[in-house]
Amino acid sequence: MTDNKLSRRAFLAATTTTALTGAACSLFIKPTSPGVVFIVIDTLRADRLDAKLHNLPVMPGLHALADNAVCCAEAYVQETFTKPSVASMLTSLYPEVHGVRFGIFTPGDIDKSKDPQSMLHVDVLSRELPSLPTVLRQHGYATIGVQTNMQLHAHSGFANGFDQYHYLDNVSADVVSRKAISAIERVKEPFFLYIHYLDPHCPYTPPKEIIHTFGVPEKPSDKDLELLQNYNEYYWDLVRHGLGLSEERAIGRLGRKGRNFLKFMYDGEARFTDSEVAGLIASVRKRFPRSLIVVTSDHGEEFWEHGSIGHTKTAYRELAHVPLIFAAPGLAAANINAPVESIDITPTIAAYLDIPLESGWQGRNLIPLFTGTGRRKQKCVYTSAFGMQPWDKVKWRAVYDGEHRLVKNFSQMKTELFNIANDPYEKKSLAEKEPGRIEELTKALDAIIEANERHPLKQETVEKARVEEGTIESLKALGYLQ
Ligand SMILES: [Zn+2]
């Protein structure tokens, strides 16, 4: 049976036989297609789902959702930067194919003779590519986006396929949830609602009451406090170094207590988002009880596992590994340990809705994996990191086969290999001990690169759009611009 043919109907039939429960069966007969709520929580590491802080769960809402849903425990993004990552989710194409890599660049930085700071340009996602919203709209879905990340602004092509695309500048998760709920007030099924929360993205500033939930954070040392007070300077020093734009670090190192303080604040943002996402899901389910809810992130966040903080600068697992949850009535709860990737989300949603998959989509329909039906060869999943701007000296590629992860830093010609079960934070490379594995995974990586090169939808050139003046301050606030 092809992925295309194993649709929601077949999938539901499969789950009735494999997970037969009387209560759930009546929900399987549906006269029309359900709504789809696609939630992206920016910068959310996969390990926060089960994490505790001061003995309290960081994300109790998502944890409970995952317990009663299909939870993909080994989900990987295609790129550790928002823009290419979300483009891959929506188009089911690797970044090498959709071509959207760079968020912003200033021509003045390339050619100092021109220095028009206002001439900021961004890669534009092609309108020609079949994406989840464009395909769903063709099938009669009302399509609504609630967006908070400047990198995904309408002028970058991310509004393609949406009937409504609401951009909310610099707002917190409670405002996002309220907007999403009001946006579907007059909507009828079927609909597709994409909501992008930004709270766990730096700067980490959770509401005070959330911080108090976890108690008082350990007080940083005086030296740490000094660095934290000039956090922008400290952060940009790390970013410049991480992107290969400066050889040496200029600012001092943050000590253990200072680092723990930042982790504490990040967890506070995750906790706040968690309660707002839980509230949104409860509200949607009250009105549209059979909705398919999908939750994921566009990349993780590093906290000095490999010497830095933030994201975009490497392809290590703390940046590549994200939560991925599919929840719907009648969808039998399952924990999926096989590696999956962001490009699989679009074909899986389409298949669940009985919508034919586009021939160019590179991702897989994961429903056979969820139900244990059909034969499926395990696939290597792929992550890259190419920085935010063309001059960044960042070029990473990684593949994971479910046991070992090959991580290549092409800028420094460095190859590492990690056994993920034994070494989830990728601290001890086995590259010298296991040359056979390296060869095997390098072949898998080369095959992906080659397939991307000859893909019929490969965008040889990418349109550029000028960023509107008003967005520059927002980009600065997000840390994308100095
Ligand atoms: Zn992001």
How is the chain split into domains, by residue range?
8-219+260-377+468-478
Taking Cα atoms as reference points, which of 427, 389, 396, 430 lies closest to residue 413? 396
Distance 353 CA to ligand 1 centre (A): 27
In this predicted structure, the answer to whether residue 43 has a pLDDT above a threshold of 50 is yes
- Cα 136 from chain centre: 21
CA atoms of 48 and 61, how far apart (whole Å): 12
Distance 314 CA to ligand 1 centre (A): 14
Higher pLDDT, 358 or 245: 358
Distance 149 CA to ligand 1 centre (A): 7
Distance 449 CA to ligand 1 centre (A): 24
What pLDDT is attached to residue 20? Answer: 30
- The mean of the pLDDT values for the chain is 87
Distance 2 CA to ligand 1 centre (A): 33
Planar angle of CA 160, 187, 295, nearest 5 degrees = 60
Taking Cα atoms as reference points, which of 390, 415, 397, 447 lies closest to residue 109? 390
* 466 confidence band (pLDDT: 50, 70, 90): confident
What pLDDT is attached to residue 11? Answer: 40
Distance 305 CA to ligand 1 centre (A): 19
What pLDDT is attached to residue 114? Answer: 42
In this predicted structure, the answer to whether residue 172 has a pLDDT above a threshold of 50 is yes
In this predicted structure, the answer to whether residue 112 has a pLDDT above a threshold of 70 is no
Chain segment 330-363, per-residue pLDDT in tens: 799 999 999 999 999 999 999 999 999 999 999 9
Distance 116 CA to ligand 1 centre (A): 27
CA atoms of 407 and 416, how far apart (whole Å): 5
CA atoms of 288 and 9, how far apart (whole Å): 19
Higher pLDDT, 464 or 75: 75
Distance 481 CA to ligand 1 centre (A): 14
Distance 300 CA to ligand 1 centre (A): 8
Q: ω before 190 within 30° of 0 (cis)?
A: yes
Distance 384 CA to ligand 1 centre (A): 14
- On whether the 8-219+260-377+468-478 domain is CATH 3.40.50.300, my answer is no
Using alpha carbons only, how large is the chain's radius of gyration in Å? 22
Distance 81 CA to ligand 1 centre (A): 6
Query: pTM here?
Result: 0.90
Distance 253 CA to ligand 1 centre (A): 25
In this predicted structure, the answer to whether residue 292 has a pLDDT above a threshold of 60 is yes
What pLDDT is attached to residue 479? Answer: 60
Chain segment 3-12, per-residue pLDDT in tens: 333 344 444 4
In this predicted structure, the answer to whether residue 478 has a pLDDT above a threshold of 50 is yes
* DSSP tally for the chain: helices H, then strands E: 17, 21
Distance 216 CA to ligand 1 centre (A): 28
Instruction: For 445, list phi and psi in degrees, rounded to 5.
Output: -65, -45
Distance 100 CA to ligand 1 centre (A): 14
